[in-house]
Amino acid sequence: MPSNVSLKEELDLRLHEKTCDELHVLNLQQVVDSPTHSFQIINDLQMHYKEVFAKDRTDLSLILTLGKANQLGPPALDALKKGLQDHLRMLKQTETNTKQPNAVLEHDAAKRRADKLAEILRSKLIWDNTHDELQILDASDISIRYQKLVSLQQSCDILKMYSLDKSQLETFEKSREEFLAWYSPATILALDSNDIKQLENIREKYSSLDRIQVFESNLGGYPKSKLKSFFESKKDELSLWNILDEIFTIWKRCHKTIDSFIAENGSEFVCKNLKEAIESNWQTILSVITTIISNAESPFIAAKSIGKYGSMWGSNPTFRGRDCRVSWIQAGVFSGRVAILVILYDYTAMIEEEGDSFILFLFSELAKSIYIIISEDYGKHVTSILLCTINKIMPDKSSRHQHNWLMPYLEDIQSCMYDIVNEAKSTFGTNFSRHIIPSFELAIREINSFLQNQDILNIQTNSVDIRKRKSVQENTEDKLSAICSAGYLLNMVKDVNDYIIQVTSESLGSTENLMLITKYSILETLTVKVVERKIESIANTIIYPMEDEMQKMWQKHAEELVDGSSNSKDDLSTSLPSFSVSPQNYVTGIGHGLLSQMNTISAYGNDRNFITAISCAASNGKKSFNVDEPDFWLLTEVATLVQNSFCSNIANFKKPSLKLKRQLNADIVFLMDALADLRLCPTPQLAKLADNVKEN
């Protein structure tokens, strides 16, 4: 460009353009070659536009305009008023179609562009000069260094929208981070000592250097740093209580102070960072919890203790509070998972009184995490206790066929389940059932497997279930005791479920979302097998001696057929009336046996376990059953098997003689009379047989 005048004209012309590109103006070769001279020209232009703008605003000011108008007189004012109103109406109608701004707006736009160019040039000069000065400045001169960094930051805020030397920008950012690095630990120390003035000074430095986010991050680092230091310094003395205490202490110490330095809620901010600190140190916390659980000597004693002292907490103020609970835990009143939950309960209650919703939520989440750990471990604990109780079942060899010995073991299992319900209620509160039901159902499967694999109830078909040296009554009592044992298992499930409902409703008043034992169909299947097998065994106590006698009778009949020795006697027997033939011992034994069994079975008619087992078997076979007469149902099933066996053995007699027919007829008549006396009905097979051997 030939002269300064042409540069001034060029700049003036560009500033009056509607779309002035400031960056393009700065990159003009004339400006780049002589930035200082260009800056002076822009300053002159800026002053010129300021004067023009001020003059225009003065000429058009309301006071001056009104003063000139008053000199015109009333008639002229009225005419002027009307003219102005008409003109204003016209302006409003054509406002949207106006394409050219008036002179004032043009000067105003030019002034703003000139100001912007001046600001950019000034920032560019400061950036270059200060950047060079910072490189040679002594690092120990913190005050001057800070001032230079602030100047660079201010220039950077303006120039970063246009263009900056990348290497210079990186150097500035590095210098800024190095300068602020010292203030990170200083922030922690100021927070720890609650030095508000120092914190304000530090915040000002971060804010002036556009690093306020780093300052807030340093504030968040305080709870993390404090909790980390606590875990490192107390690693050999950690307990759940002092961990919770430290978390709450950190929150109390800093949340109000931090609240005054950040836009976010201070308590929420601190709790968020405490949560991150807890997560990063979770393995340490988990180790403490595991140690407490593994050191527990007797969970059941602990459960009973917490139930005992829990009632004291509600009625006596002297049993409330941290010191009381801690002393109990140290003294061994509580142990294991119960102690953990007592601590969590107490500390949460304290936070409800002394904290706010954010710290309460943090502790609630922490308690849930610990609760899950305890729940998972608790299921294993319950399973172990139940399996140990089941494995104690050991029959006495001398009384294996007598099943009365089994009942005390089953009662122990039920008592153990009751204790577990009480302990779980004390440990987990109203939602305790879901923590124990899976273990209960596993125990039921184990009981079933144990009884069947060991054939404790003698239900395998190849096992000997009849003791020949014992009477019908004694054998029957043994079988009935096995049936009652199977019924006890079903009643045990029902009683435990009822107890869970009772415990839940007493504390909660509702049984919604309650979990009960539902998977026990294997016990029903076992009961059906036991009843069916024992019906067969009870019937066999009559059938076995009957078959022996009938076998002898069949052999005698066969011999008579061979040697014909019965012919002379047949004539004699046929001359006698039929009622003169007496029933044989085997058939009277059937009648006596059924009568004895009826007396024995009827003694169990009111036994709850017996009724449950018979009801289960009857419903499985879809047979008619009167709940008031379970003994009669069982005797009917036994009598049916006896009759079937009797008929099968009678069929062995081929071509019986007249004498034998008369004898068999007498036997059948006696048997049917005996059945009628016992209110039993003959089977269709027996009735048909009676018709076949009846005398014509």
The whole-number pLDDT of residue 3 equals: 47
Average pLDDT, the chain: 78
Q: Which range of residues forms the domain containing residue 24? A: 4-86+101-141
Residue 208: band (very low, low, confident or very high) from pLDDT cuts 50, 70, 90: confident
At 613, is the pLDDT very low, low, confident or very high (cuts 50, 70, 90)?
very high
Rounded CA separation 329/262 (Å):
41
Distance of CA 203 to the CA centre of its chain: 43
59 and 153 in contact (C-beta within 8 Å)? no
pLDDT in tens, 676-696: 999 999 999 999 888 887 754
**Range with the largest mean pLDDT of 80-94, 126-140, 510-524, 530-544:** 530-544
> What average pLDDT does the segment 218-242 reach?
88
pLDDT in tens, 479-506: 999 999 999 999 999 999 999 999 988 8
Distance separating alpha carbons of residues 42 and 53, to the nearest angstrom = 16
Residue 21 has what DSSP assignment? Answer: -
**Domain co-membership, 435 together with 558:** no
Name the band, by pLDDT with cuts 50, 70 and 90, for residue 580. low
Residue where a domain terminates, one of 214, 247, 280: 280
Q: What is the DSSP letter of 576?
A: S
Same domain, 267 and 307: no
What pLDDT does residue 353 have? Answer: 87
Structure tokens at 653: 């007699």
Residue 643 domain-assigned? yes
> Which residues 6+ apart lie within 8 Å of 184 measured at CB?
214, 218, 221
The answer to whether the CB of 183 falls within 8 A of the CB of 206 is yes
Return left, alpha or beta for 332; rule: phi > 0 is left, psi -120 to 50 is alpha, else beta. Answer: left
pLDDT at residue 271, as a whole number: 94
150-182: pLDDT as tens digits: 887 877 877 777 767 777 778 778 888 888 888
Between 597 and 111, whose confidence is greater?
597
- What's the pLDDT at 663? 84
Cα 150 from chain centre: 54
- pLDDT of 327-343, one tens digit each? 434 434 344 566 677 77
What's the whole-model pTM score?
0.61
Highest-scoring range by mean pLDDT, 84-93, 286-295, 554-563: 286-295
What pLDDT does residue 18 have? 61
Structurally, the chain folds into a number of domains equal to 4
Shared domain for 371 and 500, answered yes or no, is yes
How many residues belong to the chain?
696
27-49 tens-digit pLDDT: 666 666 677 777 777 777 777 77
Last residue of a domain, one of 257, 280, 303: 280
Query: What is the share, in percent, of the chain residues with pLDDT greater than 70?
Result: 75
Residues 290-302 have pLDDT tens digits of 777 776 544 444 3
Among 359-368, 560-569, 629-638, which is the least confidently predicted range?
560-569
Assign 120 a pLDDT band (cuts: 50, 70, 90).
Answer: confident
Q: Do the domain assignments include residue 121?
A: yes
pLDDT score, position 464: 63
Evaluate if residue 59 carries a pLDDT over 80. Answer: no
Mean pLDDT of the region 393-410: 80
Retrieve residue 529's tokens: 């097998």
User: CA separation (Å) from 604 to 388, 608, 635?
Assistant: 32, 9, 12
| Residue 94: pLDDT over 60 | yes
- Any idea what the Cα angle at residue 569 is, between residues 566 and 573, rounded to 5°? 125
What integer pLDDT is reported at residue 401 of this predicted model? 64
**Based on the domain organization, do 688 and 552 belong to the same domain?**
yes
- pLDDT at residue 196 is higher than 70: yes
Q: Which of 449, 565, 425 is nearest to 505 (CA)?
A: 425
How far apart CA 669 and CA 67 sit, in angstroms, is 147
Residue 92 located in a structural domain: no
Is residue 460 in a domain? yes
Which has more pLDDT, 306 or 681?
681
pLDDT of residue 516: 92
**222, 275: one domain:** yes
The 10 Å Cβ neighbour count of residue 331 is 8
Residue of 466, 455, 641, 470 whose CA lies nearest to 537 = 466
Core vs surface per residue 582-600: b (16+ CB within 10 A) or e:
ebbebbeebbebbebbbeb
Q: Does one domain contain both 298 and 246?
A: no
pLDDT confidence of residue 240: 84
| Contact assessment for residue 585 and residue 549, using Cβ atoms and an 8 Å cutoff | yes
Rounded (to 5) percent helix, strand, coil in the chain: 80, 0, 20
Does any domain span residue 159? no
Q: Which of 216, 533, 549 is nearest to 401 (CA)?
A: 533
Give me the pLDDT at residue 324, please: 41
- Residue 161 within a domain: no
Mean pLDDT score, 253-277: 90
Regarding whether 200 and 133 lie in a shared domain, the answer is no
Q: Which amino acid is at 242?
A: N
Q: Is the Cα dihedral 378, 379, 381, 385 positive or negative?
A: positive
- Least Cα distance to 146 among 166, 181, 176, 107 occurs for 176
The 8-class DSSP code of residue 334 comes to S
Between 125 and 311, name the one with better pLDDT. Answer: 125
Contact call for residues 219 and 184 (beta carbons, < 8 A): no
| DSSP single-letter state for residue 249 | H
Q: Worst-scoring range by mean pLDDT, 246-255, 573-582, 663-672?
A: 573-582
The predicted pLDDT at position 304 comes to 38
Q: Are 472 and 541 in contact (CB under 8 A)?
A: yes
Same domain as 192, residue 111: no
Note the pLDDT of residue 538.
92
Asked whether the predicted pLDDT for residue 69 surpasses 70, the reply is no
| Residues 310, 312, 316, 322, Cα dihedral to 10° | -50
Residue 616 CA from chain centroid, whole number: 36
What percentage of the chain carries pLDDT values higher than 90?
28
Element holding 553 (H helix, E strand): helix 521-563
Which burial class, exposed, middle or buried, applies to 668 when counting CB atoms under 10 A from its CB (0-12, 13-18, 19+)?
buried
Best CA proximity match to 172, nearest among 208, 134, 142, 210: 134
Of 334 and 462, more confident = 462
Instruction: Kindly state the DSSP code that residue 163 receives in the 8-state scheme.
Output: -
Predicted local confidence at residue 646, as pLDDT: 92
**Which own/partner contact pairs does 201-208 have at CB distance under 8 Å and 24+ positions apart?**
203/261, 205/146, 205/180, 206/180, 208/150, 208/153
Q: What is the pLDDT of residue 286?
A: 87
Q: How confident is the model at residue 399 (pLDDT cuts 50, 70, 90)?
A: low
Arithmetic mean of pLDDT, 618-636: 84
Determine contact, residues 475/466, Cβ cutoff 8 Å.
Answer: yes
pLDDT at 112: 73
Q: Which stretches within 391-520 are classed as H helix?
A: 406-428, 433-453, 472-508
How far is the CA of 132 from the CAs of 126, 127, 147, 173, in angstroms?
10, 9, 14, 14
| Closest residue by Cα to residue 517 from 441, 433, 415 | 441
For range 302-309, the mean pLDDT: 36
Q: What is the reported pLDDT for 132?
A: 76
Residue 536 has what pLDDT?
93
Q: Which tops the pLDDT comparison, 421 or 429?
A: 421
Helix axes 608-620, 630-650, angle to 10 degrees: 50
Give mean pLDDT, residues 201-220. Answer: 87
Instruction: Give the mean pLDDT of 528-546.
Output: 92
Residues 401 and 504 in one domain: yes
Whether 298 and 271 map to the same domain: the answer is: no
Asked whether residue 435 falls in the same domain as residue 322, the answer is yes
User: Which alpha helices (DSSP H) does 95-211 contain, by range?
Assistant: 103-136, 142-159, 166-181, 183-192, 196-208
Taking residues 241-259, report their average pLDDT: 90
- What is residue 493's predicted lDDT score, i.e. its pLDDT? 97
| pLDDT class of 539 with cuts at 50, 70, 90 | very high
First to last CA, the chain: 154
Residue 122 has pLDDT above 60, yes or no: yes
**String of b and e for 159-194 (b: at least 16 CB within 10 Å)?**
beeeebeeeebeebeebbeebbeebeebbbebbeee
| pLDDT at residue 8 greater than cutoff 80 | no
Q: Is 227 helix (H, G, I), strand (E, B) or coil?
A: helix
Q: Looking at the domain assignment, is residue 595 inside a domain?
A: yes
Residues 6+ apart with CB under 8 A from 206: 180, 183, 212, 214, 215
Residue 409 in this model has a pLDDT that exceeds 90: yes
C-alpha dist (Å) from residue 372 to 117, 276, 337, 349, 375: 65, 19, 11, 20, 5
Higher pLDDT, 580 or 123: 123
- 165 falls within a domain: no
- State whether 272 and 313 are in the same domain: no
